[in-house]
Structure 1
């Protein structure tokens, strides 16, 4: 296979489950890419003894702020505006940027294999590629008439919402789960992908999934991730065994895989779609058990950017209908190798429901 992945490269350098020097190199490279990314124009994110698949959204309290009724809490992915192709103040401000600044500014990941990552074999620029990146290009093409009119910004998991609220980005397209907590701070598009939280651990591990085998195990999650919130809430409610160690949190999901490779943690919990990509990077790890939540990724934007939310929802409608160059083609290109050739389990609901009125 032409594509080189950081996980495999790291594995070859570590030659086992140790290697502090290799870890330092990885951290240095990650920092370098994070510092450089905002300057490079487009060139082209829970475990218990009793839990199981189908953990309901209703288990999250309405007091989280973004959902004011039980019905909303059960389906936060429906709390978005209906599609529209019309311009509005947010879109006009983007279009009025001049010269080289006339770009859509988007927060993305650069370390999630097959979602948003840099391929060293793609040329001198090591262009960003992946499922999320394809969607960004489609949105830019619709709004600005040029799929490459994008300024990508590397955003750590815990900085996705601050980056939107502070106006550093127009939107975040970064495997971001729609939930009630986040709806209090940002607006979401309709869902563009369905997934669920899952456990990743070495193949040799006795861990069997989201169950009692996580007792006394060190679990890594990303700060600000749905996985971290779900595990913390699970431990408070007794759904997660109390002896599970949740103290290891990192800025980005790939850091969890590195910690797992170094033997500093026993398991990783993240979205199953991301976990599958991490397993593809390292053949010594695997998914353990079935997903224990059902959730959806959405494009996140400012709460008052109604015209942009509606426009992105229109793009998503068109993207789903375009079987030649849209959602299905992107799934086949990036995700079929890790999630299977049939995309039905990952497809968001069709037709989407738009229950937010203002």
Structure 2
């Protein structure tokens, strides 16, 4: 490299250095916000830190603690109950074809039965008037979706309390205990003593959306037939399209009372069916209110009066009411 070239190179380096100093000097008035360090992230659980256990349902009859006493309407602030109070009546999903529990009276046109009296008792507790209830006829399959969508406030329709149903809706305390049995045509040999297991190859009907159907589907042998209601099953039996019906003993007793050619077998119930009043899952206060109503009905003898009014004839005098389980 020549002497001249080296001299020029030294001058260029010097000029760049001076220019760099000028740029820094020109920016001396600019300030910068302090860069914030990211917050310390919470430590992730390790294999040595067990996750919180998922809630379990060990007893489907366990409901919420009842209110200490029934409050006056003006003292109730719960939003769901205020909606009921403000509209002036409670809307209850019921059956219209479950004889003795919820069935239409052919002479009066009204719906009556054990469940209907329970619904009217709730209306009386809230409004002081048992007529302040709107009875909406629904099928067993309607019960959960109508509660979840708030198209009804409560279900009083011989609804069994199950852990699976608790995932979608809430329940009052148990207000009646039934069990799944079988109703058959008297024409079947040994009809009175038949069990589901004895009905191999026979057509057995149960309504859709019921625990009775779920249990029937677990039994090997019978041919499963379905209908929308127990009355629909009875029609199929009368038409020769079914040989038997399975369901809660109370429901079957009502069917047998309507058709003297059928009989509820004396075989032991294959399930325990605890009935609860259904509510929307978030309506805990309403469930607690209902539990107070039920407890008061049992304490003052009204529960037994309702039972004897509807069920004493086919099932005998009223037993002790179911023992409530609280603490959910």
**Superposition TM-score, scaled by structure 2 size:** 0.78
Counterpart position of 1:117: 103
Tell me the distance in 1 between the aligned counterparts of 2:279 and 2:268: 31
**Structure with more relative contact order (C-alpha pairs < 8 Å, separation 6 or more):** 1
Of the three residues 217, 220, 233, the one matched with 2:202 is: 217
- The answer to whether the 8 Å contact 1:89/1:307 transfers is no
Give yes or no for contact 2:184–2:245 (8 Å, CA) kept in 1: yes
1:119-268 matched pairs, under 5 angstroms: 119-122=105-108, 126-206=109-189, 207=191, 208-232=193-217, 234=218, 240-241=219-220, 243-246=221-224, 248-268=225-245
Deviation string 1:111-156 (CA, Å, 9 cap, x unpaired) is 111111111223xxx1111111111111011112211011111101
Q: Distance in 1 between matches of 2:160 and 2:226?
A: 18
- 1:47 corresponds to: none
CA contact (8 A) 2:199 2:222 kept: yes
Contact 2:181 2:270 in 1 (8 A): yes
Equivalent residue in structure 2 for 1:96, among 86, 96, 118: 86
1:76 aligns with 2:60: yes
Alpha-carbon contact 1:197-1:269 (below 8 Å) kept: yes
The 1:212–1:138 alpha-carbon spacing in structure 2 relative to 1, beyond 3 Å, is closer
SS at match of 1:277: helix
Q: 1:331 to 1:226 in 2, by over 3 A?
A: same
8 A contact 1:91–1:143 mirrored in 2 = no
> Secondary structure in 1 aligned to 2:107?
helix
Output the CA distance in 2 between the equivalents of 1:311 and 1:92: 13
Q: Using the TM superposition, name which of 330-339 and 200-209 deviates more.
A: 200-209
CA separation of 1:311 and 1:158: change in aligned 2, threshold 3 A = same
The runs of at least 4 aligned residues of structure 1 exceeding 4 Å deviation read none
The runs of 5 or more residues in structure 1 that have no matched partner are 1-66, 235-239
Shift of 1:211: 4.6
The Cα RMSD (Å) is 1.5
Instruction: Tell me by how many angstroms 1:267 deviates.
Output: 0.7
Verify the 8 A CA contact 2:253 2:264 in the aligned structure 1.
Answer: yes
Aligned length: 265
Q: Is the 8 A contact 1:209 1:290 kept in 2?
A: no
Distance 1:318 1:95, change over 3 A: same
CA shift, 1:342, in A, is 4.0
- Structure whose alpha-carbon radius of gyration is higher: 2
Q: Is the 8 A contact 2:179 2:270 kept in 1?
A: yes
* Residues 294-305 of structure 1 mapped to structure 2, 5 A cutoff: 294-305=272-283
Q: Distance between the aligned counterparts of 1:140 and 1:119, measured in 2?
A: 21
Specify the alignment match of 1:237 in structure 2.
none
Could you tell me how far apart the structure 2 residues matched to 1:114 and 1:249 are? Answer: 22
